[in-house]
Amino acid sequence: MSKEITNDTFLKAARGEKSDHVPVWYMRQAGRSQPEYRKLKEKYSLFEITHQPEICAYVTRLPVEQYDVDAAILYKDIMTPLPAIGVDVEIKSGIGPVISNPIQSVKDVEKLGELNPEEDIPYVLDTIKLLTTEQLSVPLIGFSGAPFTIASYMIEGGPSKNYNKTKAFMYSEPVAWFALMDKLADMIIIYVKSQIKAGVKAIQIFDSWVGALNVEDYRVFIKPIMNRIFSSLREENVPLIMFGVGASHLAMEWNDLPIDVVGLDWRLPITEARQMGIQKTVQGNLDPALLLSSWDVIEERTKQILDQGMQQDGYIFNLGHGVFPSVNPDTLKRLTTFIHEYSAKKN
C-alpha cells in the first residue's frame, strides 16, 4: 500500500489544474551539489548506489527533506537499463557513459536483447517501492532516456558535442536506424511501465540531445517512435513530461505528442511558448547558471519566470537543465521557499 501523498500540487499542475502554489522540483536535484551525496560518492559509484535500494532511496528523498520541493525524482541514470539488453556501458568520472560495443550496423542492433525489469533491474523497482510505501509524501517521478539520446551514446560510444556519427548513421542506414528505434522504444515502454507499476506517479522522458536535429528530420526519424512510446504509456494514466536541451525549435512537435507537460529549457520564454500555441502544462525554465549568481539576480529572474508561468493554470517551476555540482544547497532551499511564498500570494 502506498504512503499517502499529502502534497499533490505537482500532480495538479501537471494535469492543468489550479494549485495553492506553483510546484517546484529541480532536475538533478538528487545528489550533485549535496555534501551528503558527495560523501557517498567517495565510497560508491553511481551504479553501485542505484543497486542498493536503501542508499538510493536516501539520495532520492534528500532534496525533499532539505529543499521542501513538491516532487522527488528517482535517482538513477538513463544508462541504467542498457546492460540488461547487451550494452557494455561504464560511467566514467569526468567523462560520462562510455560504451565499448558501439552500434555500427543492423547486425549489432539485432544482437540487442529485451528487458525483463523484475529479473534485470529489481533494485530499481525495490527503490521505488521503498520510497512510495514508506518514505515520501510527495509524488515520485520516474524517468527514461528517449530513443535518440540513448542511441547517440550507443553509436558514438560515449558523449558527443555534435552527434555526427549518430546523424550519419540515421541518414545512411535508415533500416538499421529504425530497427534501433523500435528496439529502444520497446525497452523504454517496458522499463517505464515497470516503474509505474512499482509506484511512481509521473514520468519524464529525457531527450537531452535531440535538439541536434532540425524539425524535418525530427518528424521523419524521431516523432513516429515518440508517438508510439507515449501512446502506450498514456494507458497508465500518469502525467507524462517531455524534455530536451537546446530544442526550442521542437517545442510545437512535442506539443503534438500525447503528453501532459512540455519541458522548456532557458532558451524559450514561457510567454513565447504560449504564443506559439502550447496550451499544455509547461515546466521550466530558470537557467541553472543563474544559481551561481547573487540572490538579488536569482530572485528577479525567478519572479519574471513565475509571472509568465502563472498567467494560466498548468505550470511547474524547474530549471532549464540540471543542477550544477557547484551550486550551494542553501540557494536551492531559499529558491524553493521563495517560489512557494511568491506564487501563493499571487494566487
9-346 under CATH 3.20.20.210, yes or no: yes
pLDDT for residue 261: 98
Phi-psi region of 96 (alpha: psi -120 to 50; beta: other; left: phi over 0): left
Omega prior to 162 cis, within 30 of 0? no
For the chain, the average pLDDT equals 96
Q: What span, in angstroms and rounded, lies between the C-alpha atoms of 8 and 20?
A: 10
Domain ranges within the chain, ordered by starting residue = 9-346
Cα 9 from chain centroid? 19
Give me the mean pLDDT over the 193-217 stretch.
97
Query: Is there a contact between 232 and 189 (Cβ–Cβ < 8 Å)?
Result: yes
**Cβ 329 vs Cβ 34: under 8 Å:** yes
Q: What's the alpha-carbon Rg for the chain, to the nearest Å?
A: 19
Contact between 53 and 84 under an 8 Å Cβ cutoff? The reply is no
Predicted confidence band of residue 3 (pLDDT cuts 50, 70, 90): confident
- pLDDT over threshold 70, residue 302: yes
Backbone angles phi, psi at 219, to 5 degrees: -65, -35
Provide the pLDDT for residue 1.
59
Higher pLDDT residue, 230 or 90? Answer: 230
Query: Does residue 74 contact residue 200 with C-beta atoms inside 8 Å?
Result: yes
Q: Is the pLDDT assigned to residue 4 strictly greater than 90?
A: no
Distances (CA, A) of 2 to 88, 137, 151, 198, 243: 35, 10, 35, 10, 28
User: What DSSP string runs through 15-76?
Assistant: TT---SS--B--TT-SSTT-HHHHHHHTT--HHHHHT-HHHHHHHHHHHHHHH--S-EE---
Q: Could you tell me the three cell numbers for 341? A: 511564498
Q: What is the largest CA-CA distance in the chain?
A: 59
The per-residue pLDDT for range 91-106, each reduced to its tens digit, is 888 888 999 999 999 9
| CA distance from start to end of the chain | 34
Do residues 25 and 204 make contact, with C-beta atoms less than 8 angstroms apart? Answer: no
- Cα distances (Å, whole numbers) of residue 305 to 126, 208, 295: 37, 22, 15
Residue 84's pLDDT band, with cuts at 50, 70 and 90, is very high
2, pLDDT greater than 80: no
CA distance 178 to 173: 9
- In angstroms, the CA 147 to CA 151 distance is 6
| 220-267 pLDDT per residue, tens | 999 999 999 999 999 999 999 999 999 999 999 999 999 999 999 999
Residue 273, pLDDT score: 97
Q: Measuring CA to CA, which residue among 76, 201, 193, 69 is closest to residue 133?
A: 201
pLDDT tier, 346 (very low <50, low <70, confident <90, very high otherwise): confident
CA distances from 228 to 109, 225, 235, 284, 333 (A): 19, 5, 12, 25, 38
Say which amino acid occupies 346: K
What would the pLDDT profile of 150-190 be if each residue is shown by its tens digit? 999 999 999 999 999 999 999 999 999 999 999 999 999 99
Cα distance between residue 237 and residue 172, in whole Å: 38
d(CA 322, CA 32): 9
**pLDDT in the model for residue 91:** 86
Helix locations, 234-292, DSSP H: 251-256, 270-276
Q: What is the pLDDT of residue 347?
A: 74
Q: Which of 336, 303, 341, 318 is nearest to 28 (CA)?
A: 318
